C-alpha cells in the first residue's frame, strides 16, 4: 500500500484499499481448521473499519460521530489481534511480510482514530 501525501488524509479511500488488500491477502491463506476461524474474524473486523468510518462521516450528531470513530478504533485493534495470530501461524516468506504490512496499517488506523476521537471530545 503505497501512499502519496494526499492519500494519507483520504481515510475513506485508505480504509477501502485496506479492506481490498486484506481480502486479497486472506484469500491466499491455506484453509486449515485452525486458520479458517481466524480468517473469518479478521475479515469481519478489518472490513468494518472502513464501513464504520463512512457511517461516522454521515453521523447525525457529534455524539454519533464520536461513537462511530470509537468503533473504528476498536475494530482496528481487533484486526491487529487477528493479524498477529495469523502471522504467528505463517512461515517466513511473502505471506508473512504481507501480514506485517497489513498489521502496520491497522496499527496506524488505531492511532489515527484514537487521535480523531480524542480531538472530537
Whether residue 55 contacts residue 68, with contact meaning beta carbons closer than 8 Å, is answered with yes
Assigned domain for 49 exists:
yes
> According to DSSP H, which parts of 1-121 are helical?
11-28, 35-57, 62-89, 94-120
32 within a domain of the structure (yes/no): yes
Question: Is residue 56 included in any domain, yes or no?
Answer: yes
Is residue 17, in this structure, part of any structural domain at all? yes
- Does residue 1 form part of some domain? no
Cα 98 from Cα 90, distance rounded (Å): 11
The CATH number of the domain holding residue 33 is 1.20.1440.60
Count the domains in the chain. 1
Share of the chain above pLDDT 70, in %: 92
Give the model's pLDDT for residue 9. 63
Q: Is residue 38 in some structural domain?
A: yes
pLDDT tens for 76-100 read 999 999 999 999 999 879 999 999 9
Q: Do the domain assignments include residue 2?
A: no
Query: Range of 38's domain?
Result: 7-120
The length of the chain is 121
Question: pLDDT of 13-46, one tens digit each?
Answer: 999 999 999 999 999 999 999 999 999 999 999 9
In a domain, 42, yes or no: yes
Q: Write the CA distances from 55 to 44, 69, 79, integer angstroms.
A: 16, 9, 19
Q: Which three cell numbers stand for residue 79?
A: 484486526
Amino acid at each position: 500500500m503505497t501512499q502519496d501525501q494526499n492519500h494519507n488524509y483520504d481515510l475513506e479511500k485508505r480504509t477501502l484499499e485496506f479492506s481490498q488488500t486484506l481480502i486479497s491477502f486472506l484469500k491466499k491463506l491455506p484453509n486449515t481448521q485452525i486458520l479458517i476461524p481466524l480468517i473469518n474474524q479478521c475479515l469481519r473486523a478489518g472490513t468494518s473499519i472502513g464501513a464504520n468510518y463512512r457511517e461516522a462521516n454521515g453521523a447525525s450528531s457529534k455524539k454519533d460521530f464520536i461513537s462511530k470513530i470509537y468503533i473504528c478504533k476498536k475494530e482496528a485493534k481487533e484486526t491487529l489481534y487477528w493479524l498477529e495470530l495469523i502471522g504467528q501461524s505463517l512461515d517466513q516468506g511473502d505471506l508473512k511480510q504481507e501480514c506485517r504490512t497489513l498489521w502496520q496499517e491497522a496499527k496506524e488506523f488505531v492511532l489515527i482514530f484514537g487521535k480523531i476521537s480524542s480531538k472530537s471530545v
